[in-house]
Amino acid sequence: MTICRREVCLGLGSVALLGAAAGWSPVWAQSDPAVAPVQAFYDALVAQMKKGGPAKARYDMLKPAVEKAFDIPGMTAVAVGPGFASLPAADQKTLTDAFERMTIANYVKNFDKFGGEKFTVEPASVARPPSTDKLVKSTLKTGSDTIPFNYRMHQVGAEWKIEDIYLNGNISQMAQRRSDFSATFASAGASGLAKKINALADQQLS
């Protein structure tokens, strides 16, 4: 298993304190509906790690869990930027499909086998007033390392879905994606960006 780490890392207790200072408040509940999708995704992720085997088989195994837990269309729109909304529907679908494929492939590559890793999800989310978004905090314990992965959740219809992942607790993955994609989208348009995203997925699955 490979884990990409960045230089900034906040512990979960620090995140909670910073959240309180920023006006966030814990949502203490016996069963938090915003937490459930993250836990279900982790369960599926660990299952494919334990299964092992070819990347394609694990990709097919994980795909339904990603589609259930993540707001892939919303995340694609954020990663591409403001120009996404004005694209024809066919181009939006091409980019969304490519982004989903890359997302699944990234997890298949980085979580390719089980070695006793443990994901722990905090049972209560953190509200983000005045928006209705919530923050779900979790950690990955691997060997001597404890790595925070926090999730920004929002409602899509009646379901809570992941709209951003904060790597090492506070680094927005969607901000990184937009930075990575902006130049290609500006110079090569939707088709060029879709080609780039699919190439990234190919590399992960090779």
The tens digit of pLDDT for each residue in 189-199 reads: 999 999 999 99
> What value does the mean pLDDT of the chain take?
88
Whether residue 3 lies inside any domain: the answer is: no
**How many structural domains are present in the chain?**
1
Whether residue 7 lies inside any domain: the answer is: no
Whether residue 6 lies inside any domain: the answer is: no
The domain spanning residue 116 has which CATH number? 3.10.450.710
Alpha-helix runs per DSSP H in 52-88: 55-69, 72-80
Whether residue 157 lies inside any domain: the answer is: yes
Whether residue 196 lies inside any domain: the answer is: yes
Q: Which of 135, 111, 134, 138 is nearest to 122 (CA)?
A: 138
pLDDT at residue 6, rounded to an integer: 37
pLDDT at residue 129, rounded to an integer: 87
pLDDT at residue 17, rounded to an integer: 39
In the predicted structure, residue 29 carries a pLDDT above the cut 60: no
Give residue 187's pLDDT band: very low, low, confident or very high (50, 70, 90): very high
Segments forming the whole domain that contains residue 96: 12-205
Whole-prediction pTM: 0.84
Which are the contacts of 59, defined by CB distance < 8 A and separation ≥ 6?
Answer: 104, 105, 108, 205
Average of pLDDT values for 75-100? 97
Average of pLDDT values for 52-71? 97
- For 83-94, how does the pLDDT look when each residue is reduced to its tens digit (9 = 90+)? 999 999 999 999
Whether residue 136 lies inside any domain: the answer is: yes
pLDDT at residue 1, rounded to an integer: 56
Average of pLDDT values for 142-163? 95
Whether residue 78 lies inside any domain: the answer is: yes
What percent of the chain lies above the pLDDT cut of 70? Answer: 85
Which are the contacts of 119, defined by CB distance < 8 A and separation ≥ 6?
Answer: 42, 45, 46, 138, 139, 140, 141
